[in-house]
């Protein structure tokens, strides 16, 4: 029995060839609350609403996502059982599959209910990093839940805006090794979930690919993918409604539209913390500086169309 509606039984190879393409990046916290991981998180419903709105607006979609809370939970589970650890690259790959399955299942149901023809494809994506990257000696990437008690002695921990969390190495992405596969799926009309959790970190040498103990920043790899695919629109969807300077102070200011020059100056003034807004601003700047014609936006889930119209979020100009 065929349980897939006939209109979606196979991909339309030519459907999206003339569509504008959007890369939509969402953080792992929108998929699992790092403070109370067992409580429902409504942000995913807003993310899926954004995806549907963008489809209705005529965009082809490539979606990336974080995995900080989820990969940390997997490490906790692994450590509770003891034995030989699998390594962070293994758990990044695992969470690409589990999170991708969750998003794809919910999105497929929404698309079917609203009589859209697209299918969702989740692609395990490998990303090359440099073994000499200084990040391996200076872990900065928060993973897992907020630490409420004394952490294990072998963890590296850091204070974040939400509280104390475990941190791991986060090398800069050099090359997305599965770009051709992403292009093929997108060109075939699929909504592609790629580079989940920043991509599976690998070292490349004359003997092949080797997984490495790290988690790549989702925003930086999303920017690299947006540039590699030469997308028309790059959106970072996050928990705050816009980029702000003097954040949390009396003279806090929302940046609704900001030039590359001004945003780079704010970045160099250390306006954006490394563990939160810093990588997002860096990712947006990289994309806009390398691809000036690309529309580059930061907004909160549910605000994608409003941000495109300039009514919400922050737009780089």
3-state secondary structure of 205: strand
Among 16, 27, 72, 141, the one annotated catalytic: 141
Among 28, 196, 197, 199, the one annotated catalytic: 28
Among 100, 144, 189, 280, the one annotated catalytic: 280
d(CA 74, CA 316): 36
Active site residue 162: no
Among 144, 218, 244, 288, the one annotated catalytic: 218
Sequence-distant (6+) residues with CB within 8 A of 313 are 241, 242, 256, 297, 298, 299, 300, 303, 306, 307
Active site residue 106: no
Burial letters 14-31, b for 16+ CB under 10 A, else e:
eebeebebbbbbbbbbbb
Q: And the tokens for 42?
A: 């409504």
3-state helix, strand, coil split of the chain in percent (to 5) is 35, 20, 40
- Of the candidates 223, 234, 240, 217, the one whose C-alpha atom is nearest the C-alpha of residue 301 is 240
d(CA 35, CA 291): 36
- Are 234 and 222 within 8 A, CB to CB? yes
Active site residue 218: yes
Active site residue 141: yes
| Cβ burial, residue 96 (10 Å; 0-12/13-18/19+) | buried
Among 29, 72, 244, 313, the one annotated catalytic: 29
Active site residue 33: no
Active site residues: 28-29, 141, 218, 280
């Amino acid at each position: 029995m065929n349980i897939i509606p006939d209109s979606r039984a196979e991909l339309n190879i030519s459907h999206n060839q003339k569509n504008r393409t959007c890369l939509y990046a969402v953080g792992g916290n929108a998929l699992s609350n790092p403070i109370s991981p067992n409580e429902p998180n409504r942000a995913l419903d807003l993310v899926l609403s954004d995806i549907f709105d963008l489809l209705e607006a005529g965009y082809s979609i490539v979606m990336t996502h974080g995995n900080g809370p989820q990969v940390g939970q997997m490490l906790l589970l692994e450590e509770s059982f003891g034995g030989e650890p699998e390594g962070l690259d293994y758990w990044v790959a695992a969470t690409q599959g589990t999170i991708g399955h969750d998003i794809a299942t919910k999105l497929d149901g929404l698309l079917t209910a609203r009589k859209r023809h697209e299918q969702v494809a989740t692609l395990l994506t490998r990303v090359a990093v440099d073994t000499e990257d200084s990040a391996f000696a200076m872990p900065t990437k928060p993973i897992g839940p907020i630490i409420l008690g004394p952490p294990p002695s072998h963890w590296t921990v850091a204070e974040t805006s939400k509280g104390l969390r475990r941190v791991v190495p986060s090398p800069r992405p050099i090359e997305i090794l599965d770009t051709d596969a992403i292009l093929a799926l997108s060109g075939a009309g699929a909504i592609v979930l790629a580079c989940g959790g920043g991509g599976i970190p690998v070292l490349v040498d004359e003997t092949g690919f080797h997984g490495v103990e790290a988690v790549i920043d989702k925003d930086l790899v999303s920017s690299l993918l947006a540039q590699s695919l030469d997308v028309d629109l790059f959106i970072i969807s996050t928990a705050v409604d816009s980029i702000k300077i003097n954040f949390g102070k009396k003279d806090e200011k929302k940046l609704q539209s900001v030039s590359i020059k001004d945003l780079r100056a704010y970045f160099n003034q250390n306006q954006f913390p490394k563990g939160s807004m810093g990588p997002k601003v860096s990712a947006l700047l990289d994309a806009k500086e390398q691809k000036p014609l690309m529309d580059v936006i930061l907004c909160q889930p549910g605000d994608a169309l409003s941000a495109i119209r300039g009514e919400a979020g922050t737009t780089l100009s």
